[in-house]
Amino acid sequence: METVLETRSLCKTYIVNKRQNNVLKNIDLTIVKGEMVAVMGPSGSGKSTLLYCVSGMDRVTAGSVIFAGQEITALDDDRLAELRLNEMGFIFQQMYMMKNLTVLDNIILPAVKAKKIRESRKQTVERGLALMRRLGIGEVGSNDINEVSGGQLQRACICRSMINSPKMIFADEPTGALNRASSDDVMNELLSLNREGTTIMCVTHDPKVAAKCSRVLYIVDGGIVGEKITGHFEVGEKELRDRERDLNNWLIEQGW
């Protein structure tokens, strides 16, 4: 299988009040194409820091991060920003959008900025609208971002994350601000993208979300202490209940 992301002895340290805080400790991780990997652990364990470090949003203290065959820890800020724009997609709990732009304009903004896609603005708009229709929000493209629901806005964030056809999507608590129904809808869309081959890394505190992923990593005090292979999820309520029950039992064993 093609490796999309690999880390070797990754460490992240912060200095707070002259004290060294080792947030990540010697993380070795490999994610292959087509995986949907959940990262879980108690609050403050380093989950989000790991996502930020492997995606180049934060600098590592030691070790290496190899994304799509390229060592990214030595890249300067401009080259990292270009890599994130062209090859990665991001979804966050807080749905960061430009307030002065419509929903559609927010979605296509990364494509307008990207260098790898050569197309007219009309073509870019058509791709954005196609993504919106696919995710069931085709009717809100001209709306301001404060004129749509939280669930619709997070679907728009998924559209934005996909507009440049990224090699991998990084999602940090993508359902954390949503009710259960909207959370299920968002996860179903991510599952659909994953089944089509998009690689996804998802930080979550929600076992119901993690149960739909193909692998679950458990982090404690900056180190990966457990890993559970759950396999790709096929739609089915009984299968999902069984996966949730099995995952919850495993999480309890990990100290959840």
- CA dist 54 → 92, 120, 182, 251 (Å): 15, 32, 28, 24
pLDDT tens digits for range 183-195: 888 898 999 999 9
pLDDT at 234 over 90: no
Helices 150-162 and 121-134 cross at an angle (nearest 10°) of 130
71 versus 116: which is more confidently predicted? 71
Confidence label for 139 from pLDDT (cuts 50, 70 and 90): very high
Residue % of the chain over a pLDDT of 70: 98
Q: CA-to-CA distance for 251 and 41, rounded, in angstroms?
A: 9
Mode of pairing for the β-strands spanning 168-172 and 88-92: parallel
Q: How many CB atoms lie within 10 A of CB 106?
A: 25
Residue 172: CA count within 13 A, CB half-sphere: 18
Q: Locate the domains of the chain by residue range.
A: 3-95+167-254
Alpha carbon 15 to chain centroid distance? 27
Output the pLDDT for position 45. 94
Confidence label for 16 from pLDDT (cuts 50, 70 and 90): confident
Q: CA 165, 168, 36 angle in degrees (round to 5)? A: 125
Average pLDDT (28-32) is 97
Output the pLDDT for position 144. 95
Assessment of whether the complete model's pTM goes beyond 0.85: yes
pLDDT at 17 over 90: no
pLDDT at 12 over 90: yes
Q: CA-to-CA distance for 162 and 107, rounded, in angstroms?
A: 9
Helix, strand, coil percent content, the chain, rounded in steps of 5: 40, 30, 35
pLDDT at 39 over 80: yes
Output the pLDDT for position 9. 97
Q: CA-to-CA distance for 110 and 105, rounded, in angstroms?
A: 9
Nearest to 162 by CA among 132, 188, 138, 183: 132
184 versus 3: which is more confidently predicted? 3
Average pLDDT (211-227) is 96
Output the pLDDT for position 242. 93
Output the pLDDT for position 148. 94
| Residue 143 burial class via C-beta count within 10 angstroms: exposed 0-12, middle 13-18, buried 19 and up | middle
pLDDT at 236 over 80: no
**Please, what is the end-to-end C-alpha distance for the chain in angstroms?**
31
Worst-scoring range by mean pLDDT, 31-45, 76-90, 180-194?
180-194
Output the CATH code of domain 3-95+167-254: 3.40.50.300
Average pLDDT (174-202) is 91
Output the pLDDT for position 21. 86
Output the pLDDT for position 83. 95
